[in-house]
Homo-oligomer: A and B are copies of this chain.
Amino acid sequence: MKVAVLGTGMVGRALAGRLAELGHEVTVGTRDVEATMARGESDAMGNPPYADWAQTHQRVMLATFADAAAGADLVVNATSGRVSIAALEAAGRDHLAGKVLLDVANPLDYSHGFPPSLFVSNTDSLAEQIQARFPEARVVKSLNTMNAFLMADPRQLADGDHTVFVSGNDADAKQVVTELLRAFGHTDIIDLGDLSTARGTESLLPVWVRLYGVLGIPMFQFKIVR
């Protein structure tokens, strides 16, 4: 499958690397390819320069948001929530139409420091805002409730014995995402229903960020015991 992963940060890299490893043809999308490749320092989150990562992941291509999305069968929104709509606008409405758009972003608002609050919550969600803005995309929310490394390779923790959620309005799109999740190694996959259920999974972030504060490492996960 041809996959566009929008976003060059930790989440984008983890997913792009894993997708390439699984044999998919992966293009990472960024605003400005030259600037991304020229950056020589770690970013604000402590990630090493993209060019360094690209050297060890030569099968992963880099292109503008628009070029990455244009040729893709599946588009992954791995940008930070604040800029997701802008990045998807740059990718282009036409390049998203009819495609599965896997949204793993969270509406985190760091403007008042750590822990962040959410800039949309409770009676709306980022996933729904994206779907409203791009009505022809087949948005599926998933993976947003865990650390990037666990998204891509859940067996790193407790042999994968934890839960991932799926929300979306299009059953076929959810099926595509579910198969991808299984390929990553996820085994406990709960389909919560339509995209409004993303209000529930995005609302896991307020406790996630506080658990991160208390536990000190991001290698933890929610499991729904039942």
Contact = CB atoms under 8 A, between A and B. Distances in A.
B200 A209 contact: yes
A126 to B, nearest CB: 13
14 contacts: A117-B123, A190-B214, A191-B214, A192-B210, A197-B207, A197-B210, A203-B203, A203-B205, A215-B226, A220-B224, A221-B225, A222-B222, A223-B224, A223-B225
Contact of A222 (B199, B203, B213, B223): B223
What's the dominant secondary structure at chain A's contact region? mixed
Interface in A153-207: 157-158, 161-162, 165, 190-193, 197, 199-201, 203-207
Contacts of A162: 225
Given A193-B214, A213-B193, A165 B206 contact: no
Contacts of A220: 224-226
Q: Which 5 A/B pairs are nearest by Cβ-Cβ distance?
A: A200-B207, A220-B226, A203-B206, A200-B206, A223-B223
Contacts of A219: 226
Given A117-B122, A193-B213, A222-B224, 13 more contacts: A115-B200, A121-B121, A121-B122, A190-B214, A192-B211, A192-B214, A193-B210, A197-B207, A199-B206, A200-B209, A203-B206, A219-B226, A222-B223
